Chain A
Amino acid sequence: MTVSVSAAPPRLVMRGIVKRFPGCLANDGIDLVVEAGQCHALLGENGAGKSTLVKIASGVLSADAGEIFWEGAPAAIGSPAAARALGIGMVFQHFSLFESMTVAENVALGTGDPSPLPALAARIAEVSARYGLALDPQRRIADLSVGERQRVEIVRALLQDPKLLIMDEPTSVLTPQEAQSLFGVLRRLVAEGRSILYISHKLAEIRILCTAATVLRGGRVAGTCDPREETAASLGRMMIGADFAPPARAAAAPAPGEPRLVVDRLSMAPEMPFAPALDAVSLAVHPGEIFGIAGVAGNGQAELLRALSGESLAAVAEAVRIDGVAVGHLGPRRRRACGMGFVPEERLGRGAVPDMSLADNTLLSASRSEGMLSRGLIRFARARQFAETVIGTFHVAAAGPDAAARSLSGGNLQKFIVGREILQKPRLLIVGQPTWGVDAGAAAAIHRDLIALAQEGAAVLVVSQDLDELFSICDRIAVMCQGRLSAARPVRATTVEEVGMLMGGVFHLDGTAEGPGHAPAP
């Protein structure tokens, strides 16, 4: 295949691409060459400029400078429609689907295809059968799982018969089995002569899938390589520009004793139309232990976090106990008084008030434990001092305690929020998605801090979609699926595949699926 392709002009060439946003140079003279029939990886940390570059290639953004060639000829990609006309299809990282509409309607919107919906539904059925992407055109997006939503995006792109398919972090929301079947589809597309531009920071999957890679760092090209000839460590060094130490696992399993946090058959009705209900969730976290909860987003993790933090109150007070004290009826502040710390999933809005300074943001959770209040008045000096301690201890890159929370990058703000909770010496720390959207350096630092906290004797509960993360820091893992929690397994006694099966709703390992409609792994 490579012989026949090398004679043809490259499918896409981007040369000297520059894109400037207020206060940041996102792309600084980037070159990229994607050959025909090639699966090309675009690697880089968050903020390296990957998403900006592909938005330019797909016509969503326009470059400030630089040239684009399509199959050897200069091309101006002024709009998404122009990109589609050339043959560039895009599968977005944050799905660009319309929740309350059907699959067919979404596809109709995405293809610019004026044919009536029934005809389109037939073509959707045809394409999804050809590539093994099962889809019902009449279903509403809101009722689909994340994996199914991605299938809608892919089918939508394939219906336009693209020559280049851009995929932005496609596996970040999939179970390992779903990811495997996606790789099968992508290999097929490449075999048909289509090119794929594959954006990811998961080095392992790039090494098995892609035959060429362009690595970005700080808006520039840090290098190009053949990922099959590199190791994960060498790719990581190109991405980060330095070696980084993966976190050391907690040395030994904690001595069994009285659990610090007990959740006992906790059930909750859903609060939002499409949210799952919590169904008799039980777990116990011991001092010194990191307990992980895995699962595909939207299976009740957000509801569980709310129930644990005290934002939603349990029907039975005994359903949530901290050190034997029933706290199910207590609100967040009184649970914090019991020694609980909490890092929510959303950094901006829940974890921090975007427009307030870091010092003011410490008041949100640390005002009592750190003595920032005096007869109803705020002791601002204390708050500033505490914020400075957090910034110093956790190496937060910020202008100082007066910097607005909004001005920090995602990784730095997360380090600040985690640090704010850890410095209050919680006996129990609950963390939602600790490193979601955080670059690898900051993620490693956060992991080390969580492990250190557990080693000092705190109980830590981590809810995450990132299996690599859970497997590297947790002692035990349980899986959430459709509002129910599996039994916890020691990390050493389980595998990514087993947890992946549970994430897909297969709770009994004899293969009886409890969840609806998940495609089995090939």
Chain B
Amino acid sequence: MSDAELITLSAILAAMVRAATPLAFAALGELVTERAGVLNLGLEGMMLMGAVAAFGTAHAGWGYAPAIAAGAAAGAAMAALFGLLALTLRANQVACGLALSIFGVGLSAFLGKSLIGSPVTALPALPVPGLAEIPVIGAALFDQDILVYASFLAAPALHWFLFKSRRGLILRAVGENHDAAHAIGYGVLRVRYAAVLFGGAMSGLAGAYLSLAYTPMWVENMSSGRGWIALALVVFATWRPSRAILGAYLFGGVTILQLHAQSWGIGVPSQALAMLPYLATVAVLVLISRDETKIKLNAPACLGKVFHSGR
């Protein structure tokens, strides 16, 4: 390979990682929420609110850290609304989640009206000295911004939390059998609120990454369905963080590849190529879901069920 080709490859890999990052955040957040037995379909709405809040804060010149925090807080605030309806008031989770998505699209568009067309400087890359110069993979792994690094750490951290820590065990127990968890004496609603808020904050971070780093601007509905893909990834990953990350990189990878395929002038309409990541994800999803037993083994048994404490 020539140097130029190597540099292109390196750039493609780095772009793939960036395309996957928002999906990784949102999918990992939803994975924790669902492991606690709550199905929150409102990812799209929470992401958009996170995006507009982060962008607005950065645009006002308050700096990146407050902007990222604002994104996470906005996602968590939306999730709190969902929790109030679906957990405290015991409304149907599917209906609440769908409403949250639609509400988030509308509210973010309304709040972000004055921000359209304004620029911010993209979240700066923080190259790791020495490692960033590694050919091909250096740029993808070690020359990224803080949010990408955070997403790298999130999956192993969550795996440890869910499967090694005591709190993770309790969280899974609540999702597996909320009546038994209650009978033993765990606060089902408290655990679920925590999981829902965490999921919201992660969606908010996904949104913040979109508007601060991936395409540093605010556009209405800029998440363009990523929330729904992340939702599908959780099932595809059979509720395991490592597989959710894999799914995110698969989707991100195909997204970038089809962009490059468009520029290489393959005789396929660009609209058809743009469908590819979605088709690839659906295809893999279907293939994986064929093994029903595996899904049932890992699926939180109380997913989406309303909890009545009976007190």
Contacts and interface: CB of A to CB of B under 8 A. Distances in A.
B173 A101 contact: yes
Contact of A109 (B170, B296, B297): B170
B1 interface: no
Contacts of A109: 169-170, 173, 181, 184, 186
Given A99-B176, A101-B173, A110 B298 contact: no
Given A98-B177, A114-B166, A273-B293, A61 B311 contact: yes
Contact of B183 (A96, A105, A142): A96
B185 interface: yes
B185 A112 contact: yes
A302 B153 CA distance: 46
Nearest to B183: A96
Given A96-B177, A96-B183, A99-B177, A108 B169 contact: yes
B180 interface: yes
Given A100-B298, A109-B173, A61 B310 contact: yes
B173 A81 contact: no
Contacts of B301: 99-100
B185 A92 contact: no
A59 B185 contact: yes
Interface in A59-79: 59-62, 79
Contacts of B310: 61
Interface string A27-63: 0000000000000000000000000000000011110
B305 to A, nearest CB: 14
Question: Chain A interface residue count: which class?
Answer: 20 to 34
B145 interface: no
Contacts of A84: 185
Interface string A198-219: 0000000000000000000000
Interface string B182-195: 11111000000000
Main secondary structure of the interface of B (DSSP, over half): helix
Question: Chain B interface residue count: which class?
Answer: 20 to 34
B179 interface: yes
Interface string B300-311: 010000000011
B172 interface: yes
Contacts of A99: 176-177, 301
Given A84-B185, A108-B169, A112-B185, A62 B311 contact: yes
B185 A98 contact: no
Most buried by B among A59, A84, A109, A112: A109
A385 to B, nearest CB: 37
B173 A98 contact: yes
Most buried by A among B166, B185, B292, B310: B185
A97 interface: yes
A90 B297 CA distance: 27
B295 to A, nearest CB: 9
Interface of B: 166, 169-170, 172-173, 176-177, 179-186, 292-293, 296-298, 301, 310-311
Given A60-B182, A92-B183, A112-B185, 10 more contacts: A62-B311, A80-B184, A81-B185, A84-B185, A98-B173, A99-B176, A100-B298, A101-B172, A109-B181, A110-B184
Interface of A: 59-62, 79-81, 84, 90, 92, 95-101, 105, 108-110, 112, 114, 142, 272-273
Q: Which 5 A-B pairs rank lowest in CB-CB distance, beginning with the nearest?
A: A80-B185, A96-B180, A81-B185, A98-B176, A273-B293
